[in-house]
Amino acid sequence: MTDFEKYLLTSAVEIKKEIKNILSEWSTNVSSLTPSLTGVNNIFIKNFSGGKYVRGALVILGSEITGNKKNKDTIKIAAAFEILHTALLIHDDVIDKSTIRRGNKTIHTAFKDGHYGTSLAICLGDISFFLATKLITDSSLSSNIKNKISSEFSKIALNTILGEMLDVKTSFDKSKKEKDIVTIQKLKTAYYTIAGPLAIGAMLENIDALQKKAIEIFGEYIGMAYQIQDDILGVFGDEKKIGKSTISDIAENKNTLLITHALKKATPKQLKLLKTYYGKKDINKKQLNLIRIIFEETGSLAYSQKRAHAYANKGILQIPNITKNKKLQLVLSDFASFILKRQK
């Protein structure tokens, strides 16, 4: 187990406990005000299990980078980020028509009536957003720090939603542009997954301009590598490990480096197959395997892996500017390696 995996494991225990506390408080509220929604709320609560807690762990790491000692407020902000993550996933699953998330049925498919399920999922995603902000406002941080964190938290959420909107738009576009992918990676993943959590954690103490810039650059490059690996796992991963279907990205017509590079390098026969099956809503396993083979034969898989490693290496160069603490440098370095090797 790497230093980052140990750090993640320890952080996850504390974050889970904080999330459990606020969800318990929320469940009591639901039972008191609207007891008929208890069953729906139980499905909602179940949706929080099985996450990796990477973003929350990075909030804690960001705070330690600037010399802050971990406390209840640090854990609250870390938990807020994880609840924000779940909120975005609930809505993302509706948009992508995904049926599996974290090994369970997605909320919008957990009910017999499709529109009813979708309606509840939208409401429950909205609830998650406000549970996240409630954790921040309920913290005992000074008003100045709390305002800074709230502002940055909102900015991250807004930019992530813009990235999601561009992702939706490009899924409906006939042409696939690599520049759009880079923008999506920055907005939807890089800042929201890496740079944002680290920066918010660092805001719990004073952070100098050099550290802040280094965190932004590190987060951007590592985040883009993270998204490329995520896209690879979305097609080539083990469904039991990744907790979602390996067909959904293809059925969604998702714009990734895998497909843009394959379209450039494909033979006429391969191009015909890609245009026939990539974006097909009812694609089967046999057709999925055909696309996988094309991604391999066109060098698209290798190209994506190479780009992910290149981004990660650029990010690693920023670590000495982020912290002089050797132990924390190793955790950050291990994190870069972790995202490239992860299988879920």
pLDDT in tens, 15-68: 999 999 999 999 999 999 999 999 999 999 998 988 889 999 999 999 999 988
Whether 176 has a pLDDT exceeding 80, the answer reads no
Yes or no: say if 287 and 274 are a contact pair by the CB < 8 Å rule: no
Q: Are 198 and 215 in contact (CB under 8 A)?
A: yes
Q: What is the Rg, in whole angstroms, of the alpha carbon atoms belonging to the chain?
A: 20
Q: Is the pLDDT of residue 118 over 80?
A: yes
Q: CA-CA distances (angstroms) from residue 37 to 27, 33, 187?
A: 10, 9, 35
Query: Domain 3-341's class?
Result: mainly alpha
Interval 133-156 mean pLDDT? 95
pLDDT at residue number 242: 85
6 CA to centre of own chain: 20
What does pTM read for this prediction?
0.90
Evaluate whether 226 touches 189 at the Cβ level (below 8 Å). yes
Mean pLDDT of 153-177: 89
- 132 falls in which pLDDT band (50, 70, 90)? very high
- What is the average per-residue pLDDT within 150-157? 96
pLDDT digit string, tens, across residues 71-106: 999 999 999 999 999 999 999 999 988 888 887 889
The distance from CA 121 to its chain's CA centroid, rounded to whole angstroms, is 18
Contact between 303 and 256 under an 8 Å Cβ cutoff? The reply is no
CB atoms within 10 A of CB 252: 19
Coarse DSSP helix, strand, coil percentages of the chain, rounded to the nearest 5 percent: 80, 0, 20
Q: What is the mean pLDDT of residues 151-161?
A: 96
Is the separation of the CB atoms in 58 and 201 below 8 Å?
A: yes
286-305 pLDDT, tens digit per residue, is 999 999 999 999 999 999 99
Confidence of residue 207 (pLDDT cuts 50, 70, 90): confident
Confidence of residue 150 (pLDDT cuts 50, 70, 90): very high
Are 195 and 219 spatial neighbours (Cβ–Cβ below 8 Å)? yes
Contact yes or no for 135/22 (Cβ under 8 A): yes
Between 239 and 29, whose confidence is greater? 29
Q: What angle do CA 77, 4, 325 make, to 5 degrees?
A: 85
Q: Dihedrals φ, ψ of 299, to 5°? A: 80, 10
Indicate the residue type of 82. Answer: E
Question: What local confidence, expressed as pLDDT, does residue 178 receive?
Answer: 85
Average pLDDT score, the chain: 93
Kindly state the average pLDDT of the residues 224-238: 94
- Interior angle at CA 190, CA 184 and CA 191, nearest 5: 105
Among 237, 336, 241, which residue's Cα sits nearest to residue 50? 241
Res. 173: pLDDT tops 90: no
Inform me whether the pLDDT recorded for 172 exceeds 90.
no
Q: Does 321 or 47 have the greater pLDDT score?
A: 321
**Phi then psi dihedrals of residue 53, to 5 deg:** 65, 30
**For residue 321, pLDDT beyond 80:** yes
